[in-house]
Amino acid sequence: MNKILLKNGHIFSPEDGIDEILDLLIVGEKIEKIGKNLKVEGAKEIDLSGLTVFPGFIDLHAHLREPGYEYKEDIESGSKAAVAGGFTTVLAMPNTSPPIDSPERVEYIVKRASQVGLARIYPIGAITKNRAGEDLADLRLMAEMGAVAFSDDGDWVRNSSVMRRALEYAQDFPIITHAEDKTLSPKGIMHESPLSYELGIKGIPRESEEIAVARDVLLARLTGGRLHVAHVSSKGSISIIEMAKEAGLRVTAEVTPHHLIFTEEVMRTYDPIYKVNPPLRSEEDRKALIEALRSGIIDCIATDHAPHATFEKELDLNQAPFGILELEVAFSSLYTKLVKEGELDLETLVAAMSTKPAQIFGFDGMGRIKEGFLADLSIWNLNEKWMVRKDSLHSKSSNTPFLGKELYAKIKYTIVGGKLIDVSNL
Ligand SMILES: [Zn+2]
């Protein structure tokens, strides 16, 4: 069996209480032993002096665009971008063309991901047929074929009765809600605020999210179902999620890197690169999101990686699509902008990107650095700066505001189930 001995790495796994320089032995796909001065016959040794080892990151929310939009991204480029960002597991959203709303289409994603063989790519099935919000898709058969959650992401399931049945039928599988009542924000582009009026850009009020979160939480109460709130952006949503958790409901939530880093102020540039849904909100919201992550009201960070071609993002603000590239810059940007600036501690960040998503979605054997767990690891030089360049990104798209900027934290290796990926050779 394949044996890899990682020597002298700084192992950092908050959940396991490890924050020291140790050796780590991988046998087959699992972590066999963690300790000092390990010596193992026949193991491939890799010296990790100066490098930091985290549990592999798990992204509960990415748009890999295949099938249908392969000019933006596909499962191969998305898998490369994932491991180049330290992600060992990525959940693929079903708003493709055609959408992933049947067991056959779930099977297609599973098959494509295994052909590529880099990160673990888990499909999310659509909640409703054709994502139209009316007829429930066959959740049970999609789950049997490998779907790990269900979502009509991009759209809120407006029909309360359909959402009720989804929460009932999905049982232990999370229903991920894109909480947005679009009737309140038709053609909205940015956070509705004094600034949106000043700039003359159509607004999206916080309430378009909060109304949707409130209804979904009430339906989780009615059904006992498992609800996960995608990309929380507003302070008011946090209060509703906090109440749901205090009431013991099965509700969890995620926040994106961009909502933790940016505010509506960037819209002064009128640059569509910052056009995301939900929109970047006020500094007050951003601070509340960081605090909610720290306190655990928001469980984890998910990227909402949304690649778009340059010609699309170069359209004017009204026509350009919503979305920002994340997988390859998520950790480095959060580390540079929040951890190094003292706004967020590294323990919270790493747990929110690895341990917490594994726990809330029930991915056994993942998200920790522990003997017997899967050898899913991401290995970084936290002190090395790198320039985000179009030709160094593995994604097919480059719609990130960090293009041309330097970030701290350079990835070296990603290990997926004991398979070592040297990111410089990708
Ligand atoms: Zn969404």
For 215-248, give one letter per residue: b (16+ CB within 10 A) or e.
bbbebbbebebbbbbbbbbbbbbbbbbbebbeee
How far is ligand 1, taken at its centre, from the CA of residue 302, in Å? 11
Distance between CA atoms of 337 and 331, rounded to whole angstroms?
10
How far is ligand 1, taken at its centre, from the CA of residue 21, in Å? 39
How far is ligand 1, taken at its centre, from the CA of residue 62, in Å? 10
Backbone angles phi, psi at 345, to 5 degrees: -85, 150
Contact 257, 59 (CB under 8 A): no
Instruction: Retrieve residue 222's tokens.
Output: 């009615």
- Smallest CA-to-CA distance from 402 within 274, 255, 285 is with 274
> Rg for the chain (alpha carbons), in Å?
21
How far is ligand 1, taken at its centre, from the CA of residue 231, in Å? 7
Tell me, what's the pLDDT at 279? Answer: 98
Contact 291, 267 (CB under 8 A): no
Across the chain, mean pLDDT equals: 98
Q: Is a pLDDT exceeding 90 seen at residue 355? A: yes
Instruction: Retrieve residue 337's tokens.
Output: 């902008």
Please list all protein residues whose beta carbon sits less than 5 angstroms from ligand 1, which is an ion.
153, 178
To the query of whether residue 304 is one of the catalytic residues in this protein, the response is yes
Q: What are the CA-CA distances from residue 369 to residues 258, 334, 355, 356, 373 (Å)?
A: 27, 21, 9, 13, 7
Tell me, what's the pLDDT at 1? Answer: 84
Distance between CA atoms of 345 and 335, rounded to whole angstroms?
9
List the catalytic residue out of 153, 216, 285, 304: 304
Tell me, what's the pLDDT at 31? Answer: 98
How far is ligand 1, taken at its centre, from the CA of residue 6, in Å? 38
Q: Is a pLDDT exceeding 90 seen at residue 416? A: yes
- Place 324 in a pLDDT band, splitting at 50, 70 and 90: very high
How far is ligand 1, taken at its centre, from the CA of residue 323, in Å? 9
**H or E element that contains 76:** helix 75-84
pLDDT in tens, 256-283: 999 999 999 999 999 999 999 999 999 9
How far is ligand 1, taken at its centre, from the CA of residue 93, in Å? 9
pLDDT in tens, 148-188: 999 999 999 999 999 999 999 998 999 999 999 999 989 99
- Place 82 in a pLDDT band, splitting at 50, 70 and 90: very high
Distance between CA atoms of 55 and 52, rounded to whole angstroms?
10
Partners of residue 386 on adjacent β-strands? 407
Q: Domain coordinates of the chain in residue numbers?
A: 3-53+374-425, 56-360
- Smallest CA-to-CA distance from 317 within 268, 261, 257, 260 is with 268
Distance between CA atoms of 162 and 181, rounded to whole angstroms?
15
Q: Is a pLDDT exceeding 90 seen at residue 96? A: yes
To which CATH superfamily is domain 3-53+374-425 assigned? Urease, subunit C, domain 1 (2.30.40.10)
Instruction: Retrieve residue 342's tokens.
Output: 């003292």
Contact 72, 102 (CB under 8 A): no
Instruction: Retrieve residue 354's tokens.
Output: 């690895």
Task: Find the helix packing angle between 103-116 and 75-84, rounded to 10°.
Answer: 60
Q: Is a pLDDT exceeding 90 seen at residue 106? A: yes
Contact 151, 178 (CB under 8 A): yes
How far is ligand 1, taken at its centre, from the CA of residue 335, in Å? 24
How far is ligand 1, taken at its centre, from the CA of residue 230, in Å? 6
Pairing of strands 377-387, 52-55: antiparallel
How far is ligand 1, taken at its centre, from the CA of residue 25, in Å? 39
Tell me, what's the pLDDT at 171? Answer: 85
pLDDT in tens, 49-81: 999 999 999 999 999 999 999 999 999 999 999
Is 35 exposed, middle or buried (CB count within 10 Å of its CB: 0-12, 13-18, 19+)?
exposed
Q: Which parts of 105-236 are beta strand (E)?
A: 120-125, 149-151, 175-177, 190-191, 203-204, 227-229
Distance between CA atoms of 180 and 185, rounded to whole angstroms?
9
Q: Dihedral of the CA atoms 227, 233, 234, 239 (nearest 10)?
A: 30
How far is ligand 1, taken at its centre, from the CA of residue 39, in Å? 48
Q: Identify the architecture of domain 56-360 in CATH.
A: Alpha-Beta Barrel (3.20)
Handedness of CA 234, 97, 318, 323 (dihedral sign): positive
Instruction: Retrieve residue 200's tokens.
Output: 């003359």
How far is ligand 1, taken at its centre, from the CA of residue 177, in Å? 8
- Smallest CA-to-CA distance from 324 within 306, 341, 312 is with 306
Distance between CA atoms of 123 and 133, rounded to whole angstroms?
19
Instruction: Retrieve residue 343's tokens.
Output: 């706004």
How far is ligand 1, taken at its centre, from the CA of residue 300, in Å? 15
Percent of the chain topping pLDDT 90: 99
Instruction: Retrieve residue 303's tokens.
Output: 């990227």
